[in-house]
Amino acid sequence: MANKLELTWYGKDEPILVEPRLLIENAALSNTAADSDTENMLIHGDNLLALKALESKYAGQVKCIYIDPPYNTGSAFEHYDDNLEHSQWLQLIRPRLEILWRLLSEEGSLWISIDDDERDYLKVLCDEVFGRQHFLVSIVWQKRYSRENRESIGDSHEYILIYVKDKEAFKATRNFLPLTEKQLKAYKNPDNDPRGAWQSVSLLAQGYRPNQMYEIVAPNGKVHIPPEGRCWAVIESEYEKTLAAGRVTFGSDGNGVPRRKNYLSDAKGLVPWTWWPQEEVGHTGESKDEVNALFGKDTSFDTPKPERLIERIIHIATNPGDLVLDSFLGSGTTAAVAHKMGRRYIGIEMGEHAYTHCKVRLDKVIAGEDPGGITKSAKWEKGGGYRFYELAPTLINRDAFGEYVINEEYDADMLAAGVALHEGFTYHPDSNLFWKQSVGNEKSYLFVTTRHLNSQYLDVIKSGMEEDEYLIIACCSYDKGIDRAYDHITIKKIPQMLLERCEFGKTDYNLNIVHPPVYEDEEEYDAE
């Protein structure tokens, strides 16, 4: 599009071709003893490959996505070059954002933690990928509770960018925040109102509206009129209904300005706003204490988020049973919080943290051995489960002569499921017809076989097909000419049919980020 406003970087126009991989459950690492039907997923592997694997099944299904990607600090790459570094970071973040957006439901929301280093670049990139009209707000999280004295100006906050598929749909379904103790104390019942505790709110509104300018006569005979520049908030007939219902107060002595009663039983809660102080959602010191208690200081995690912060996000964006996804799972905080809050979840972590932190943490949550974080406030005890998945190896390898060949690790079922994933079909073998192996659109099927095809074999398949059915056969070899001899049957060779669509043999698309120094607590951080 001409005159399009966009962020550019070195290598932006180079496509990233991602091979769809199968997800293989590692039953030995799954924890399903307390919940054999669990849909929760913990995935070990590069998150771009894992997201691609999830896309066909979960597109449009995820209610809340939270990610805490690497912040691209100056130490991010071994051979530091500022321009190249930012370009690589943006180039690797973008395809992940594109798939995440496709996974998000129409009522869903995407929350991204980020700091000042990349916040503005990320915002422009997200505007380009999602559409600027889908940006909701930028949350400011106060991550520190004490002053930071090492820098010219102390760094005390981070951001959370929020994008939504549909602003009105999100507003209609998002949850209010619960009232604070201070706000609850404002509700009293001095007149023993049978409807319970209440607080008064003004009956006045700004401006001048003729039909909202009338006299109100108090029970003691005192006459009230709106002051200059104000009017009553409702027309007179609506006020009379409110008065008749006993929902108007004139103060304890009857001489006060009329005010409307708002009852605690009717209070929905607080509309979330963009300033999240550490008193409400925790700070970095709190999050370090949480992971130290779980893993010990020697094996703790570099940059966790406090459970209270993630709890607020999940509370606002979801309800029990909704699906939450975190593709930069780290120490497992998002999955642990979602588990305690009764949400379904998918967590992805590439490194050894999947085994040493995420799995260990979830196992403790399930066993009731995690007393920290939101356990008490969420009234969590124990139970639930998850399934542990690994990414399948690449489907196509090169042999000693440089030729593309099917990976020997793939058995017949894996090969059929893998090719189906590549071609956009759902692997669902028919119990009666062997060639109805995978289902695409209505009346279209995919059959994957390693055998050589000849006309006799195809005649058997053709005899079982309905007139309006279509079949793609993926095979290794076939007799010359038979690929054009049958109506409604298309024959393709493996691996040639797959090579143009993705990049094979790449084990990961690692962001290759080195975390900044770790401090045991904020006092140690301040001392430097």
Delineate the domains of the chain, giving CATH numbers in brackets. Answer: 23-176+271-391 (3.40.50.150), 181-266 (no CATH), 396-498 (3.40.1350)
CA distance linking residue 430 with residue 416, whole number of Å: 13
In the block, which residue shows the tokens 């009852």? 263
For residue 352, the tally of other CB atoms under 10 A from its CB is 10
Q: Can you give the pTM of this predicted structure?
A: 0.86
Length of the chain measured in residues: 528
CA–chain centroid gap for 323, Å, is 8
Q: Smallest Cα–Cα separation from 143: which of 331, 275, 278?
A: 278
Alpha carbon distance, N-terminus to C-terminus of the chain: 51
Q: Which residues are CB-neighbours of 22 under 8 A, at least 6 positions away?
A: 53, 391, 392, 414, 417, 418, 421
CA R_g for the chain: 30
- Structure tokens, 170: 């999100």
CA distance linking residue 345 with residue 397, whole number of Å: 33
- Structure tokens, 227: 């002051």
pLDDT number for residue 299: 67
Mean pLDDT by 10 residues, the chain (528 residues): 73 88 97 97 96 95 95 53 69 94 98 92 95 97 86 90 98 94 92 95 94 96 95 96 96 93 92 96 92 82 88 98 96 97 97 92 98 96 98 92 91 95 93 94 93 95 94 95 93 90 83 46 44
CA distance linking residue 74 with residue 124, whole number of Å: 21
CA distance linking residue 56 with residue 68, whole number of Å: 24
Q: Smallest Cα–Cα separation from 318: which of 38, 133, 62?
A: 62
pLDDT number for residue 309: 98
**Strands (DSSP E) along 301-443, which ranges?**
323-326, 344-349, 387-391, 396-398, 404-406, 426-427, 438-439
Q: Is the peptide bond before 219 cis (omega within 30 degrees of 0)?
A: no
- Decide if 36 contacts 385 (C-beta within 8 A): yes
Q: Smallest Cα–Cα separation from 200: which of 163, 152, 252?
A: 252
HEC string of 335-346 equals HHHHHHCCCEEE
**Strands (DSSP E) along 180-258, which ranges?**
198-202, 204-206, 216-217, 223-224, 230-232, 248-249
Please enumerate, as own/partner, the contacts of 305-309 that have beta carbons within 8 Å and a separation of 24 or more. 305/68, 305/113, 305/333, 306/281, 306/282, 306/333, 306/373, 307/282, 307/333, 307/336, 307/337, 307/372, 307/373, 307/374, 308/280, 308/281, 308/282, 308/373, 308/374, 309/141, 309/276, 309/281, 309/282
CA distance linking residue 232 with residue 70, whole number of Å: 53
- Structure tokens, 149: 């004295």
β-sheet bridge partners, residue 478: 453
CA distance linking residue 362 with residue 354, whole number of Å: 10
Starting at the edge strand found earlier in the chain, the sheet holding 470-475 runs 426-427, 438-439, 444-448, 470-475, 489-493
Q: Smallest Cα–Cα separation from 208: which of 226, 223, 192, 195?
A: 226
- Decide if 90 contacts 121 (C-beta within 8 A): yes
Starting at the edge strand found earlier in the chain, the sheet holding 157-164 runs 23-25, 387-391, 41-44, 344-349, 323-326, 62-67, 104-114, 157-164, 135-142, 275-276
CA–chain centroid gap for 126, Å, is 15
- Structure tokens, 73: 């600090």
**DSSP secondary structure letter of residue 358:** I
